[in-house]
């Protein structure tokens, strides 16, 4: 969208938005509200993620590759939060690799470099096989076929009001901040595909319309990996796993997350009743 600061011109269509002409973020918000009166308060939440190369470089200087390897699966772990800058071309993977190598020995930076390699891998797959971005790469390995899955995302998921407390908190962050930790993405994607039996494409569309790092290759191929249309088995989890990797501030109580409860075997049998019981 092309937006103009009204204080500089009366002709909103004539020049692109110049952020520097606003005194602060509140002034930008007020301007956007004026241009888009149909947006309600929920739509007007401004993400804490800030644009600009300086912001990206500041965040890059703070990365902690050694602790990244040890804590990255924890929702409050030392992840870089660089993905929006990578996605929009503000930082390259080579920029980040150079900073990693300047901070630690290759052995201690390995995990972070590996994760960036996943991004590159998805990009290359997309380039070679553009058709698998929206089509099932393979059949589901869940004991169900594609027609057993719903086409559309129900409103309770789209609004983050499923009644499953941790899932709603993760979706809330997506809606308000445009971000979500990798482990939370896995939890929410599996909840949508396997607990609710909705096509991964509906979930992928939902994520892409809110993520600041929304990227068809990383997003859709990760969704297919969770769904099992691009992996040999479905990804699933149980409440105990969420409790292990979540901070105390997240409500992971049994009473508010009942559908996620059970041993791995119990959850598996519940989600995939047509598959043989795992040994
Ligand atoms: C269902 C699902 C949807 C996803 N959708 C997107 C998306 O739209 N855009 C996107 O950039 N990533 C996506 N990812 C991958 C990953 O969740 C994000 O890249 C990561 O959470 C971004 O946070 P970060 O920058 O703190 O990552 P860090 O953990 O600090 O990793 C550093 C960088 O490595 C890359 N990276 C890390 N993990 C992965 C991964 N599993 N796959 C691909 N690249 C990775 C990213 O560029 C990331 O910025 C998705 C994952 C899942 C499971």
**Model pLDDT for residues 164-197, shown as the tens digit of each residue:** 999 999 999 999 999 999 999 999 999 999 999 9
> Within this chain, do residues 267 and 162 fall inside the same structural domain, yes or no?
yes
**Can you tell me the distance from the alpha carbon of 198 to that of 147, in angstroms, rounded to the nearest whole number?**
10
Report the separation in Å between the CA atom of 73 and the middle of ligand 1, taken as the mean of its atom positions.
12
Ligand 1 pocket: which of 55, 62, 77, 119 to mutate (most atoms within 8 A of CB): 119
Q: How many domains does the chain have?
A: 3
Distance of CA 6 to the CA centre of its chain: 34
Ligand 1 pocket: which of 72, 118, 218, 231 to mutate (most atoms within 8 A of CB): 218
> Within this chain, do residues 67 and 157 fall inside the same structural domain, yes or no?
no
pLDDT at 14: 52
Closest atom of ligand 1 to CA, residue 86: 47
Closest atom of ligand 1 to CA, residue 189: 1
Is the CB of residue 86 below 6 angstroms from any atom belonging to ligand 1? Answer: yes
DSSP structure string for the chain: -----TTT-S-TTSS---GGGSSSHHHHHHHHHHH-TT--GGGGPPPS---SHHHHHHHHHT--HHHHHHHTTSTTS-----HHHHHTTSS-HHHHHHHHHHHS-HHHHHHHHHHHHHHHHHHHHHHH-GGGGTS-SS--SSS--GGGSBSS--HHHHTT-SS-HHHHHHHHHHHHHS---HHHHHHHHHIIIIIS-B-HHHHHHHHHTT-TT--HHHHHHHHHHHHTTTSSS-----HHHHHHHS-TTS---STTSGGG-S-HHHHHHHH-TTSPPP-
pLDDT tens digit string along 102-136?
999 989 999 999 999 999 999 999 999 999 999 99
**Do the domain assignments include residue 93?**
yes
**Do the domain assignments include residue 256?**
yes
pLDDT tens digit string along 137-159?
999 999 999 999 999 999 999 99
**Can you tell me the distance from the alpha carbon of 2 to that of 15, in angstroms, rounded to the nearest whole number?**
8
Pair 29, 45: CB distance under 8 Å: no
pLDDT tens digit string along 44-100?
777 888 888 999 999 999 999 999 999 999 999 999 999 999 999 999 999 999 999
Pair 138, 229: CB distance under 8 Å: yes
> Within this chain, do residues 244 and 174 fall inside the same structural domain, yes or no?
yes
- Give the domain CATH number at 84: 1.25.40.80
> Within this chain, do residues 85 and 167 fall inside the same structural domain, yes or no?
no
Closest atom of ligand 1 to CA, residue 188: 1
pLDDT at 16: 67
Tokens encoding 27:
């002034």
Q: Which of 230, 208, 228, 199 is nearest to 122 (CA)?
A: 230
For ligand 1, atom 19: residue with the closest CA:
83
> Within this chain, do residues 260 and 185 fall inside the same structural domain, yes or no?
yes
> Within this chain, do residues 59 and 34 fall inside the same structural domain, yes or no?
no
| Full residue range of the structural domain in which residue 96 is found | 53-128
pLDDT at 36 over 50: yes
- Domain boundary among the residues 71, 93, 128 is at 128
**Can you tell me the distance from the alpha carbon of 177 to that of 187, in angstroms, rounded to the nearest whole number?**
18
pLDDT at 221: 98
Report the separation in Å between the CA atom of 222 and the middle of ligand 1, taken as the mean of its atom positions.
9
For ligand 1, atom 34: residue with the closest CA:
116
Q: Which of 29-33, 221-225, 272-276 has the lowest mean pLDDT?
A: 29-33
Ligand 1 pocket: which of 182, 187, 236 to mutate (most atoms within 8 A of CB): 182
Q: Which residues contact 174 (CB under 8 A, 6 or more apart)?
A: 160, 180, 188, 207, 210, 211
pLDDT at 12 over 80: no
What mean pLDDT, rounded, does the chain reach? Answer: 92
- Give the domain CATH number at 264: 1.10.579.10
Confidence of residue 20 (pLDDT cuts 50, 70, 90): confident
**Do the domain assignments include residue 72?**
yes
> Within this chain, do residues 214 and 99 fall inside the same structural domain, yes or no?
no
pLDDT at 27: 87
> Within this chain, do residues 155 and 265 fall inside the same structural domain, yes or no?
yes
**Do the domain assignments include residue 74?**
yes
> Within this chain, do residues 120 and 211 fall inside the same structural domain, yes or no?
no
Is the CB of residue 188 below 6 angstroms from any atom belonging to ligand 1? Answer: no
**Do the domain assignments include residue 150?**
yes
pLDDT at 141: 98
Q: Which residues contact 271 (CB under 8 A, 6 or more apart)?
A: 142, 194, 195, 234, 236
Report the separation in Å between the CA atom of 218 and the middle of ligand 1, taken as the mean of its atom positions.
7
> Within this chain, do residues 240 and 165 fall inside the same structural domain, yes or no?
yes
Confidence of residue 15 (pLDDT cuts 50, 70, 90): low
> Within this chain, do residues 68 and 152 fall inside the same structural domain, yes or no?
no
Q: Which of 72, 120, 115, 112 is nearest to 92 (CA)?
A: 120
> Within this chain, do residues 123 and 152 fall inside the same structural domain, yes or no?
no
Report the separation in Å between the CA atom of 214 and the middle of ligand 1, taken as the mean of its atom positions.
9
**Do the domain assignments include residue 277?**
no
């Amino acid at each position: 969208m092309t937006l103009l600061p009204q204080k500089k011109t009366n002709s909103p269509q004539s020049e692109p938005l110049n952020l520097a002409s606003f005194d602060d973020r509140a002034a930008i918000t007020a301007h956007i509200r004026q241009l888009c009166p149909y947006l309600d308060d929920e739509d007007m939440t401004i993400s804490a993620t800030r644009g600009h190369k300086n912001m990206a470089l500041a965040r890059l200087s703070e990365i902690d590759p050694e602790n990244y390897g040890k804590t990255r699966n924890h929702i409050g772990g030392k992840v870089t939060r660089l993905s929006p800058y990578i996605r929009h071309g503000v930082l390259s993977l080579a920029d980040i690799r150079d900073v990693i190598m300047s901070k630690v020995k290759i052995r201690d930076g390995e995990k972070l470099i590996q994760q960036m390699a996943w991004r590159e891998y998805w990009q290359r797959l997309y380039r070679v096989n553009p058709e698998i971005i929206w089509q099932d790469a393979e059949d589901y390995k869940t004991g169900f076929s594609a027609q057993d899955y719903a086409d559309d995302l129900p409103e309770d998921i789209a609004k983050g009001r499923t009644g499953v407390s941790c899932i709603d908190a993760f979706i809330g962050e997506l809606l308000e901040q445009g971000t979500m930790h990798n482990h939370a993405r896995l939890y929410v994607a599996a909840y949508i595909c396997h607990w609710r039996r909705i096509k991964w494409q509906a979930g992928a569309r939902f994520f892409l319309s809110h993520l600041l790092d929304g990227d068809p290759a990383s997003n859709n191929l990760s969704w297919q990996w969770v769904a099992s249309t691009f992996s040999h088995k479905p990804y699933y989890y149980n409440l105990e796993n969420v409790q292990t990797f979540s901070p105390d501030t997240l409500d992971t109580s049994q009473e508010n997350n009942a559908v996620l409860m059970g041993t791995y075997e119990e959850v598996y049998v519940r989600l995939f009743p047509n598959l043989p019981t795992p040994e």
